[in-house]
């Protein structure tokens, strides 16, 4: 097949082709997600992001940062430490409340979450179970060379507390006025009892959280809560998740976190069912009140207009990087038939695609590989791009479709005469000729942002 001829495909399937198994296999095969510590037999439910997964993850965080920080005047960014003063977790209530109820089987010694066991007997062997005990989910370690109770520190179970600890620093150094937000993305750790479903629930994961501070007033709180629920829902849709795969689920009173006055989850339809993707919570002034009390520091805000000091209330959209990646991967996954051959295609939004363009010399001779390398170097100054000269051009397109590369650039005999290339679109498979010099502007325009 020549690079000039448009490929033909059957219409994209209307039913979801994806299963967790297919996705996990694709991720491993193409270097998106690897089982972690694989050469030592793995370490339960931990995953490493491979070369393409690392790019995807950067893009997900970048897309979030752009929407939440860069393109707004009312939100600033932060990057706080993972290890915080242990009093943080006393004040935040995590030492006391961040627990799951656990039961042990008296026969087989297996441990289960009490609220996941039905019928009061061991789900494994039917044995008798112990009374439920509360198990704290925070990872403990020691700071410094002495391993005693005075040196215990915790790996943060949410990024949010670093924001509250820096509330006074931010209002003292930045010209922020209510309402305003502080956002950060980074690792969090939870000693989950039942991790699983690939990267959905792990013990080490990344969060993208924003604390939005508003006047302590129920009407103001309600207005901004609704605003952020809508913003966050739209963010997923604007980056390629189908609306019908998302739904809002307000929490029942008895499932609210200890700090929450009301929470709505954005849920996604995973192959294993509906599950949380992001939670938007009304945290009131709980955290600032607690830290003010435990630290003895003034964590109030001075309202110039009202000439009053108070601790603001908080609306918190809290998303997971890994779950967001999972949702984007699942929603992008598609299978169709091109020229009588099945293909897997990840229909990523170009902003999220790990590789933006792949460059192919049609022939491995006649100066085409050298020209293709030149074009590659030119594109790499703008975004991640790949080079492939192995196998038929159809195969090469297919390899890139499978990892979601939105654009293919083919160098052929005509390129050598007039410095034009064909640009192939992953989804429409349309091919159009462009001058090489026009490619960076054309592609960055189609991608939607520079990195």
Residues that bind ligand GAP (CB under 6 A): 158, 160, 190, 192, 201-202, 205, 207, 209, 276-279, 316, 318-320, 322-323
Distance CA 263, CA 282 (A): 6
| Comparison of 131 and 252: residue with beta carbon closer to ligand GAP | 252
Q: How far is the CB of 209 from ligand GAP (least distance, A)?
A: 5
| Comparison of 55 and 316: residue with beta carbon closer to ligand GAP | 316
| Comparison of 269 and 318: residue with beta carbon closer to ligand GAP | 318
Q: How far is the CB of 69 from ligand GAP (least distance, A)?
A: 17
Burial 292-307 (b: 16+ CB within 10 A, else e): beeeeeebbbeeeeee
271 within 8 A of 330, measured Cβ to Cβ: yes
Q: How far is the CB of 94 from ligand GAP (least distance, A)?
A: 10
The set of residues, in sequence order, having a beta carbon less than 8 Å from that of 14 and lying 6+ positions away, is none
Planar angle of CA 324, 325, 327, nearest 5 degrees = 65
Planar angle of CA 91, 96, 100, nearest 5 degrees = 135
Q: How far is the CB of 205 from ligand GAP (least distance, A)?
A: 4
Residue nearest to ligand GAP (CB): 320
| Comparison of 180 and 259: residue with beta carbon closer to ligand GAP | 259
Q: How far is the CB of 275 from ligand GAP (least distance, A)?
A: 9
| Comparison of 318 and 421: residue with beta carbon closer to ligand GAP | 318
Q: How far is the CB of 207 from ligand GAP (least distance, A)?
A: 5
Q: How far is the CB of 265 from ligand GAP (least distance, A)?
A: 7
| Comparison of 55 and 322: residue with beta carbon closer to ligand GAP | 322
Q: How far is the CB of 226 from ligand GAP (least distance, A)?
A: 19
Two tokens at 267? 């849920």
110 within 8 A of 104, measured Cβ to Cβ: yes
Distance CA 394, CA 431 (A): 13
| Comparison of 320 and 404: residue with beta carbon closer to ligand GAP | 320
Distance CA 279, CA 320 (A): 9
Burial 131-153 (b: 16+ CB within 10 A, else e): ebeeebebbeeeeeeeeeeeeeb
3 within 8 A of 431, measured Cβ to Cβ: yes
192 within 8 A of 157, measured Cβ to Cβ: no
| Comparison of 98 and 180: residue with beta carbon closer to ligand GAP | 98
| Comparison of 249 and 395: residue with beta carbon closer to ligand GAP | 249
Burial 341-375 (b: 16+ CB within 10 A, else e): eebbbbbbbbbbbbbbbbbbbbeeeeebbebbeeb
Q: Using H for helix, E for strand and C for coil, what is the string for 1-61?
A: CCCCCCCCECCCCCCCCCCHHHHHHHHHHCCCEEECCHHHCCCCCCEEECHHHHHHHHHHH
Q: How far is the CB of 295 from ligand GAP (least distance, A)?
A: 20
């Amino acid at each position: 097949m020549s690079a000039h001829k448009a490929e033909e495909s059957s219409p994209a399937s209307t039913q979801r082709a994806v299963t967790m198994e297919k996705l996990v296999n694709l991720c491993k095969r193409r270097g998106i997600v690897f089982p972690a510590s694989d050469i030592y037999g793995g370490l339960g439910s931990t995953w490493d992001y491979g070369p393409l997964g690392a790019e995807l993850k950067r893009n997900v965080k970048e897309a979030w940062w752009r929407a939440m920080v860069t393109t707004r005047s009312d939100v600033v960014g932060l990057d706080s430490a993972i290890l915080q003063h242990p009093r943080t977790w006393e004040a935040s209530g995590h030492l006391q409340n961040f627990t799951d109820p656990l039961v042990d089987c008296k026969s087989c010694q297996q441990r289960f979450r009490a609220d996941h066991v039905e019928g009061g007997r061991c789900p494994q062997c039917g044995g008798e179970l112990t009374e439920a005990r509360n198990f704290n989910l925070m990872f403990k370690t020691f700071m410094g060379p002495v391993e005693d109770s005075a040196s215990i520190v915790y790996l943060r179970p949410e990024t949010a507390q670093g924001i509250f600890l820096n509330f006074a620093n931010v209002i003292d150094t930045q010209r922020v006025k209510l309402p305003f937000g502080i956002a950060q993305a980074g690792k969090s750790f939870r000693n989950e009892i039942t991790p699983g479903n690939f990267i959905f629930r792990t013990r080490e994961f990344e969060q993208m959280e924003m604390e939005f501070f508003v006047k302590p007033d129920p009407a103001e709180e309600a207005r901004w809560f609704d605003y952020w629920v809508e913003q966050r829902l739209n963010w997923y849709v604007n980056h390629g998740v189908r609306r019908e795969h998302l739904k809002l689920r307000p929490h029942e009173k008895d499932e609210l976190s200890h700090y929450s006055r009301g929470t709505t989850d954005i849920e996604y339809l995973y192959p294993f069912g509906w599950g949380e993707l992001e939670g938007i919570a009304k945290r009131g002034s709980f955290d600032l009140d607690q830290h003010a009390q435990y630290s003895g520091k003034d964590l109030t805000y001075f309202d110039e207009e009202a000439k009053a000091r108070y601790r603001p209330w908080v609306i918190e959209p809290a998303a997971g990087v890994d779950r967001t990646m999972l949702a984007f991967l699942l929603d992008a996954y598609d299978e169709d038939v091109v020229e009588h051959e099945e293909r897997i295609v990840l229909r990523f939004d170009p902003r999220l695609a790990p590789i933006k363009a792949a460059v192919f010399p049609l022939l491995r001779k006649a100066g085409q590989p050298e020209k293709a390398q030149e074009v590659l170097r030119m594109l790499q100054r703008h975004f991640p791009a790949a080079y492939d000269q192995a196998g038929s051009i159809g195969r090469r397109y297919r390899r890139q479709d499978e990892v979601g590369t939105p654009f293919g650039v083919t160098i052929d005999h005509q390129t050598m005469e007039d410095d034009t290339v064909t640009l192939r679109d992953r989804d429409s498979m349309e091919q159009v000729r462009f001058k090489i010099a026009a490619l960076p502007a054309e592609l960055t325009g189609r991608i939607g942002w520079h990195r």
